[in-house]
Structure 1
């Protein structure tokens, strides 16, 4: 996070907002499951095993698998030589969101559409890769909050550390996007994913035009 330019931090916060947006939509639509926050689904799966709730385990487990498949796809797209990584990865994210929204419009089950959205969120994490490793996590914030707290601790000790601002912006992006997603869902339902697809398409164009 600290080794990235300010423009990249803004992009990261925007993409975290996108993740928060679709996570709220998926959480409401699927009934308490996540399309971008896999730690939550892991806990859901664990509780389902303990309770013998096999349907819940199937839903949570399928979302986790779809997310990992998306990560694989995004990483493969990011590793192709001779292309600009970020626009290609974000184009993949856009395409998956369009497929999910289109499938819902064609009356596909919401759970199946949510799996495609989860794959899109997995792919999104390849936007900021360095040497095959994610340098900024876009769909999960626990590590970001830990780093924010560590930076604030240095401030308390008297250091002139402003790194916490970047971590706060990233977390705020996810939280703000989730609020917006929940509000939009009230009017559009799962069709809110079209809005997310539009946001991803805009991010694709911006990264291409600004050579990010």
Structure 2
């Protein structure tokens, strides 16, 4: 995060909000599984294998869908390098709209898997040298960086180096709150909101890496 200028930082925080929003909807729909937090699904998979008490196949298929989304996003990033961010975000929007449409015709299984594909794809928006540079759906590493940057500040380093990472985490949390509230009122129709937000981000996203990355 600290290696990016202000505009891409804002985009990353907005993406984290979207991820929190969608994951909260998925979590409530699935009753304890996730569409963007694959560490949680991996734990549920492991517990299910050991105790035969959790939906092992569903957890495994969600993980597979998420990885598939990363593959799709990575391929799009290579094929559309100059418009990478906009192209990936547009794809995320289409996938979320597809999930909402599946839900409308009672294809719930397809809906949640399309959500997982979308969230995997979203993680490929920020890349450096072919590697994901900002994970927008998982925050354990982000919180580690918060702690590291606070320690650095206490030792005389950058006093605010921890702030971008904290804001990224807060974005996910606030998005999750919004998603849970939305699910309470409109259920899976909240996916249309997520699709519209992703579409908006695709229109606002910088078009080339040189526009967003500091040297």
Q: TM over 0.5: same fold?
A: yes
Superposition RMSD in Å:
1.6
1:199-210 to 2 correspondences below 5 Å: 199-207=197-205
Structure 2 residues without counterparts, runs of 5 or longer: none
Partner of residue 193, structure 1: 191
Partner of 2:63: 64
2:153 corresponds to? 155
Partner of 1:13: 13
Cα distance in 2 for partners of 1:83, 1:98 equals 25
CA-CA distance at 1:159 after TM superposition: 2.8
> CA offset at residue 4 of structure 1?
0.6
Residue 52 (structure 1) aligns with: 52
Deviations 1:148-195 (A, max 9, x none): 001111222233431100001100000000000000001111111111
Contact 1:128 1:134 in 2 (8 A): yes
The CA distance in 2 between the partners of 1:95 and 1:76, in whole Å, is 16
**Preserved contact between residue 20 and residue 176 of structure 1 (Cα < 8 Å):** yes
Select 1:144's aligned residue among 138, 142, 166.
142
| Corresponding position of 1:24 | 24
Corresponding residue for 1:112?
110
Give TM-score, length-normalised by structure 2: 0.93
Count of matched residue pairs: 210
Flag structure 1 segments of 5+ consecutive residues without an equivalent.
none
TM-score (norm 1): 0.95
Contact 2:83–2:207 at 8 Å: present in 1 too? no
Residues 101 and 191 in structure 1, CA contact (< 8 A), matched pair in contact too = yes
Contact 2:88 2:125 in 1 (8 A): yes
Indicate conservation of the 8 Å contact 1:96/1:116, yes or no. yes
